[in-house]
């Protein structure tokens, strides 16, 4: 799962396992998958995968085990974030809707993030994710609104596909391992963008929700400042943890507290939220969304 908080391209509660509590404190302090980021990198240091619309499939097939795309999946992660220099409670609810938008000739599925800081809504965003025939999950667009006191303040990010100099890229490879070269997630005007690299595979990690084996640890950040955060993914689950690194500004720390499959009514609510965000985007980002075709829900 992604978050626009760190300028990256554009999850009820269970009792905490005792083992999870001990491990959680270490993970959120920055342990688990160590290693230093390489020297400052440029876009040329990252792998770029050729975009071929003919190679994409229905994203709801959800064949990537590290980043499930099944409509109705919802992850809740909690931890802290820094507001000014003060750490405050932080929660992210990520929902895979059944809203489908065609971007650059390929079907994408809308994933909604709702970020709450110190009990107040701080950010709501959509990521549009596509699936190719090899099982790679691509980030094809995004829209991010910021809030203060629960009220909309501004649109922080809006892009769809290759328009306006953007280049979509792979968010999660199908079979990432330590031999996988660092890769481009998004690229803008051939210079700025975001990337990722594998730090560790086969790790054992605990979130508040449960402990997991065979965990994948990925470093994500801006090109030239890649050491922004570590993201931890459990197979067939998705992201379970997030820990900040030296390039992080907000110092987000997150741990999965719940993973559920929404009821049809719950899915309706979240998909309608995605559609309402798109309606608002036509007003706040008309150059991107004004003439774009409307999305549709999976029949």
Q: Give me the pLDDT at residue 44, please.
A: 74
Map 133-191 to HEC letters.
CCCCEEEEEEEEEEEECCEEEEEEEEEECCHHHEEEEEEECCCCCCCCCCEEEEEECCC
Beta carbons within 10 angstroms of residue 128's beta carbon: 29
The enclosing H or E element of 277 equals helix 264-284
Map 1-70 to HEC letters.
CCCHHHCCCCCCCCCCCHHHHHHHHHHHCCCCCCCCCCCCCCHHHCECCCCCHHHEECHHHCCCCCCCCC
Residue 126 scores a pLDDT above 50: yes
Q: 236: which residues sit within 8 A by CB, 6+ positions away? A: 65, 68
Residue 30 scores a pLDDT above 70: no
Q: Give me the pLDDT at residue 10, please.
A: 39
Domain boundaries, the chain: 4-291
Computed over every residue of the chain, the mean pLDDT equals: 87
Residue 127 scores a pLDDT above 90: yes
Asked whether 170 and 136 are in contact (CB, 8 A), the reply is yes
Q: Give me the pLDDT at residue 224, please.
A: 84
Q: Give me the pLDDT at residue 36, please.
A: 56
- How much is the average pLDDT of 110-126? 96
- How much is the average pLDDT of 89-101? 97
Cα–Cα dist 129/170, whole Å: 9
Residue 23 scores a pLDDT above 70: no
Residue 218 scores a pLDDT above 50: yes
pLDDT tens sequence across 267-280 = 999 999 999 999 99
Q: Give me the pLDDT at residue 299, please.
A: 84
Q: Give me the pLDDT at residue 39, please.
A: 55
Q: What pLDDT band is residue 287 in, cutting at 50, 70 and 90?
A: very high
Q: Give me the pLDDT at residue 35, please.
A: 53
Q: Give me the pLDDT at residue 40, please.
A: 67
Q: Give me the pLDDT at residue 290, please.
A: 92
Considering only 68-77, 99-108, 246-255, 256-265, which range has the smallest mean pLDDT?
246-255
């Amino acid at each position: 799962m992604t978050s626009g908080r760190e300028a990256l391209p554009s999850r009820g509660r269970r009792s905490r396992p005792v083992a999870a509590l001990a491990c959680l404190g270490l993970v959120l302090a920055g342990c688990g998958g160590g290693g230093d980021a390489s020297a400052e990198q440029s876009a040329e240091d990252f792998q770029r995968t050729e975009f071929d619309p003919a190679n994409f499939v229905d994203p709801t097939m959800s064949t990537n085990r590290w980043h499930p795309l099944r409509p109705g999946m919802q992850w809740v992660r909690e931890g802290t974030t820094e507001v000014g220099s003060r750490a405050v409670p932080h929660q992210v609810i990520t929902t895979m809707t059944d809203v489908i938008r065609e971007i650059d000739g390929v079907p994408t599925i809308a994933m909604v993030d709702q970020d709450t800081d110190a009990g107040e809504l701080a950010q709501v965003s959509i990521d549009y994710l596509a699936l190719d025939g090899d099982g790679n999950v691509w980030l094809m667009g995004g829209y991010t609104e910021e809030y203060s006191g629960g009220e909309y303040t501004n649109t922080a990010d809006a892009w769809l596909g290759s328009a306006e100099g953007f280049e979509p890229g792979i968010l999660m490879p199908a079979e990432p391992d330590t031999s996988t070269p660092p890769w481009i997630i998004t690229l803008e005007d051939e210079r700025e963008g975001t990337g990722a690299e594998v730090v560790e595979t086969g790790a054992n990690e605990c979130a508040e929700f449960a402990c997991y084996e065979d965990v994948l640890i990925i470093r994500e950040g801006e090109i030239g400042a890649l050491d922004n955060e570590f993201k931890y993914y459990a197979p067939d689950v998705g992201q379970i943890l997030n820990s900040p690194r030296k390039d992080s500004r907000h110092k987000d720390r997150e741990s999965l507290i719940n993973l559920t499959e929404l009821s049809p009514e719950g899915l309706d609510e979240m998909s309608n939220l995605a559609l309402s965000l798109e309606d608002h985007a036509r007003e706040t980002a008309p150059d991107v969304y004004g003439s774009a075709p409307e999305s549709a829900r999976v029949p």
